[in-house]
Amino acid sequence: MAKASVVVKCSCGKSTRIQKICRNRDAADSYVSWAKSFYQYICPACEEKERVERLEEMLRTAKENGLPELTGTPKQIEWAMELRDKRMKHLDKFIESKQAGVVAAHKFATFEEYYAGLNEATPIKGKNQKEIDWQIASRLNLIKKRHLYGNLDEAVKLLKSQTDSEFWISTQELTQTEQLLYLFCSGLRDELADKYEADRKRLEQE
Ligand SMILES: [Zn+2]
């Protein structure tokens, strides 16, 4: 074991010493020469300055795009703004890709109508309960997606109006479609729950 010790410099001129335990002297020496050329040290003061600038930039962009102020603790708000900013950068492309051709096909008058139409075209038939459950779940998912893509403008408007930092943080792992489904179609399950229950009973008896 050998210790590498090297002084690195921030772009503002401040420097600090970094140390690293390496497996032998050669490795330590090569770490030192790498760090001298490539280690990017940012001192706490510069890091804070960057953070504040980034925050100001996000505030400006949000204002320009008509996005509302977020609520939560200062830490939550900052994190949520970062997440929202990232989403907004990709949203236009997402809308474009979903609107190309799919929207017209996905328009339907009511869920009931659409659901009935689907059932008529391909009736749910399962060999066992598990299979039926799976078919009903995937059908629900299909209905939700079509409902979403058929009303994309409305869904996006709803997304942009979200002011709770918690929303942006808790949905950060979701894909864009999943996030919009969660927001725009979460009530759909309740609406159709009775219908599914009726179908389930009917299929059980068949
Ligand atoms: Zn600095």
The pLDDT value given to residue 21: 95
The pLDDT value given to residue 57: 93
Ligand 1 centre and the CA of 203: distance in Å? 69
The DSSP bridge pattern shows strands 15-22 and 2-9 to be antiparallel
* Environment of ion ligand 1 (residues, CB < 5 A): 10, 12, 14, 43, 46
pTM: 0.71
The pLDDT value given to residue 104: 46
Ligand 1 centre and the CA of 111: distance in Å? 58
The pLDDT value given to residue 193: 61
Ligand 1 centre and the CA of 73: distance in Å? 28
Ligand 1 centre and the CA of 179: distance in Å? 38
Per-residue pLDDT of the chain (206 residues; tens, 9 = 90+): 899 999 999 999 999 999 999 999 999 999 999 999 999 999 999 999 999 999 999 999 999 989 999 999 999 999 999 999 999 999 989 998 887 655 444 455 555 666 666 667 666 676 777 877 787 777 778 778 878 888 889 999 999 999 999 999 999 999 999 999 999 987 776 666 666 667 667 666 66
Ligand 1 centre and the CA of 15: distance in Å? 8
CB burial readout 143-178, b (16+ within 10 A) else e: bbbbbbbbbbeebbeebbebeebebbbebeeeebee
Ligand 1 centre and the CA of 41: distance in Å? 8
What residue ranges do the domains of the chain occupy? 2-38, 44-205
Ligand 1 centre and the CA of 21: distance in Å? 25
